Amino acid sequence: MASPNDRMNDDDMAGRGLHDDSTTRHQTPEHVEELHFGDSARGAYYDDDGKPRKRGFFWRFSRAAKAENADEAKTRRESGAAGTAAGTTSVANTVESQPRPEHESRTQTPTEPPHQEPAIGRIAMSEPEPEPASTPARTPVIPTTLTVSGQSGDGTATANHGWTVARKCVTIIMTMVVVAAAGCTSFWMWENRLRPITVTVNGTSVKTRVNTSLITLLNINDGFGTQAGKLLSVSGKTLDEHGGDRYAVTLGNTEVKSSDLASTRVNDGDVLFVKNGKDTTEPHQVVRAAIPFGNDVNLKGGGTIQYVEQQGVDGVKEQWVGEQSKETVDKKVLKEPVNFKVTTKSPNPQDGKKYIALTFDDGPSKYTQDILNILNEKGVHATFFNLSEQGTEFPDQEKAVAAAGNEVASHSVSHKYLPKLSRDDLRKEINDSFAPIEANTGGSGRMFRSPYGAFEAQQWVDSTDLISMNVLWSIDTEDWRRPGPDKIHDAVLGHARNGSIVLMHDGGGDRSQDIEALPRIIDDLKNEGFTFVTVSEMIKLDGTFPQHVMDNQPVPAVANASKDSAASGSADASSSPTTK
């Protein structure tokens, strides 16, 4: 098949009137044969002499070119072997004797040497039918039979030569890629791993390779003559003379941690200083522990109302627990403790009036109703500090007292001396004393008066969450001595002041003298301008007490929760030793 570059055949030219048979004999078309390269057919072109036309650079790699070169080589060998002109003549006669296509006979001269057909790459073709004499030009014959000459040992090309060339090209390209990659890898290894550099260690130049780690440099130079530090316990005792850091290294002006020696790389021109290793503290756990709060209980002020001014809160400290030594050592305070503070003061209303509070202890009893009748008759209220065992025995009297508008508070269960009780017994005594009061009166206040007024610092620490205050007195009538109604009366009137709290009894013995003296006491105090109030009312009139005291409740639970949280602490594990 001809390409667009090929000449038009004679028929085309004749049809278009471009020539006739007499003037265009030399323009006969080229013969076309189909050649098989591998599994595909490609066109090969032959000129009028029967020789393949050379088509440029890729022609030299074609099968036709290989066949031509092989045929010419074979001809030279045969000619050399014959060595005579006779042999050449014989070959020429043989060639001339063979039938020749008409177009060959027209284009060759008698003196022209016979053309040798390629030994391989030619395909047998059907002979064209004789051309009529009147036809000026012939149409090229289309081959009807395709055959491929076989491969022989004389150097002729194989059918797969085209694919062999492609494989060779791919091989060359792959080889070039591999060589380039190997070159790049070698260059990278040289620049980043193998290139020699010089660093200065303790003033001396040392040769090494680029990207060497500090730990490697130190190990191959035996630490430059340095010694390891000691391994110490958390308390500072020596556990191992050479168990500490192996080196102390400074790179430039920066000290390098032991944990960073393996990851730190040296560069050309770096300046290092290597010294003896530092002492190291053994691996340990870091835990948090509570620092118990202290007590600041001041009960010497002489006030009638004792209460918690500031709740105690434990501090927090850091402790180290050595894994090898098993020692536990306090290291630092993370949070300072807040001392528990109890204070005492007397109420002092400042509205220009005089107020006084009557109180009765150890009831209820058979005398309680008589006292209650006097109070109701005089139109005043008082505060009753009852024993819970008495409230259980006389519940109606206790209910009547509360119903009349009086205040009912606790005086313990059975009037025990509280400082002698254990913490658990103390808490039980106080807790149990409020139950009958709540049952009989419905009140939920936590006002308390300790028997004999005995309530010391430890009792405050043990029961701070149970009571709002401990109420004492400023006037003691000593009615328990039974001094007579007049002395009881005079004790009150002789010491009455604004904010005074008077101690009397409605139980615990014969209280007939109190019943006889009480009407005169109330009348005379009124004549002096006093107003009778309960203890809670007196505290509110003062206005300077903490809110939980005015509300008659213990210290808020939030303060206790804060204390518990600080005391519980937490633990953090640390497996790495500490360098000193």
pLDDT beyond 70 at 287: yes
How many independent structural domains does the chain possess? 4
Is residue 532 within 8 Å of 522, Cβ to Cβ? yes
Do 140 and 174 share a domain, yes or no?
Answer: no
pLDDT band at 537 (very low <50, low <70, confident <90, very high): very high
Range of lowest pLDDT (127-131, 216-220, 489-493): 127-131
In this structure, is residue 571 part of a structural domain?
Answer: no
Prior bond of 364 cis (ω within 30°): yes
pLDDT band at 82 (very low <50, low <70, confident <90, very high): low
Looking at the DSSP bridge assignments, the partners of residue 322 are: 284
Q: What is the pTM of this model?
A: 0.56
Alpha helices, H only, 98-155 = 102-107
What pLDDT is recorded for position 17?
A: 44
In this structure, is residue 75 part of a structural domain?
Answer: yes
Do 248 and 174 share a domain, yes or no?
Answer: no
What pLDDT is recorded for position 60?
A: 60
The per-residue pLDDT of the chain, averaged, comes to 79
DSSP string over 382-449: -EEEE-HHHHHH-HHHHHHHHHTT-EEEE--SS---GGGS-HHHHHHHHHHHHHHHHHHH-----EE-
Tokens 């300790």 — which residue?
450
What pLDDT is recorded for position 363?
A: 96
pLDDT beyond 50 at 101: no
CA distance 80 to 62: 27
pLDDT band at 557 (very low <50, low <70, confident <90, very high): low
In this structure, is residue 461 part of a structural domain?
Answer: yes
Sheet with 231-232, edge to edge strand ranges: 238-240, 231-232, 280-281, 578-579
What pLDDT is recorded for position 237?
A: 94
DSSP string over 243-290: -S-SEEEEETTEEEPGGGTTT-B--TT-EEEEEEPPPEEPPEEEEEEE
Do 173 and 263 share a domain, yes or no?
Answer: no
Do 390 and 448 share a domain, yes or no?
Answer: yes
- In three-state secondary structure terms, 33 is strand
Do 153 and 164 share a domain, yes or no?
Answer: no
In this structure, is residue 576 part of a structural domain?
Answer: no
What pLDDT is recorded for position 192?
A: 81
Range of the domain at 185: 160-189
**Looking at residue 399, which CATH number applies to its domain?**
3.20.20.370
pLDDT band at 77 (very low <50, low <70, confident <90, very high): confident
Looking at the DSSP bridge assignments, the partners of residue 476 are: 503
CA distance 266 to 251: 9
Percent of the chain scoring above 90 in pLDDT = 54
pLDDT beyond 60 at 70: yes
Do 94 and 115 share a domain, yes or no?
Answer: yes
Higher pLDDT, 572 or 56: 56
**Looking at residue 244, which CATH number applies to its domain?**
3.10.20.30
Range of lowest pLDDT (242-251, 332-341, 549-558, 560-569): 560-569
Do 132 and 119 share a domain, yes or no?
Answer: yes
pLDDT beyond 60 at 71: yes
In this structure, is residue 290 part of a structural domain?
Answer: no
Do 471 and 529 share a domain, yes or no?
Answer: yes
What does each C-alpha distance from 567 to 178, 317, 335, 337, 341 come to in angstroms? 70, 10, 10, 10, 18
Task: Name residues whose C-beta falls within 8 Å of residue 248's C-beta, 6 or more positions apart in sequence.
Answer: 226, 229, 255, 274, 275, 276, 277, 278
- In three-state secondary structure terms, 74 is helix
Do 153 and 33 share a domain, yes or no?
Answer: yes
Task: Name residues whose C-beta falls within 8 Å of residue 118's C-beta, 6 or more positions apart in sequence.
Answer: 52, 64, 67, 68, 70, 71
Do 115 and 200 share a domain, yes or no?
Answer: no
For 369-424, what is each residue's pLDDT tens digit? Answer: 999 999 999 999 999 999 999 999 999 999 999 999 999 999 999 999 999 999 99
Do 182 and 251 share a domain, yes or no?
Answer: no
In this structure, is residue 288 part of a structural domain?
Answer: no
In this structure, is residue 125 part of a structural domain?
Answer: yes
pLDDT beyond 50 at 157: no
Percent of the chain scoring above 70 in pLDDT = 70
Is residue 198 within 8 Å of 268, Cβ to Cβ? yes
Residues carrying an active site annotation: 361, 505
pLDDT beyond 60 at 495: yes
In this structure, is residue 315 part of a structural domain?
Answer: no
- The residue among 279, 299, 333 that closes a domain is 279
- The residue among 224, 246, 279 that closes a domain is 279
- The residue among 158, 181, 204 that closes a domain is 158
Do 16 and 31 share a domain, yes or no?
Answer: yes
Higher pLDDT, 52 or 4: 52
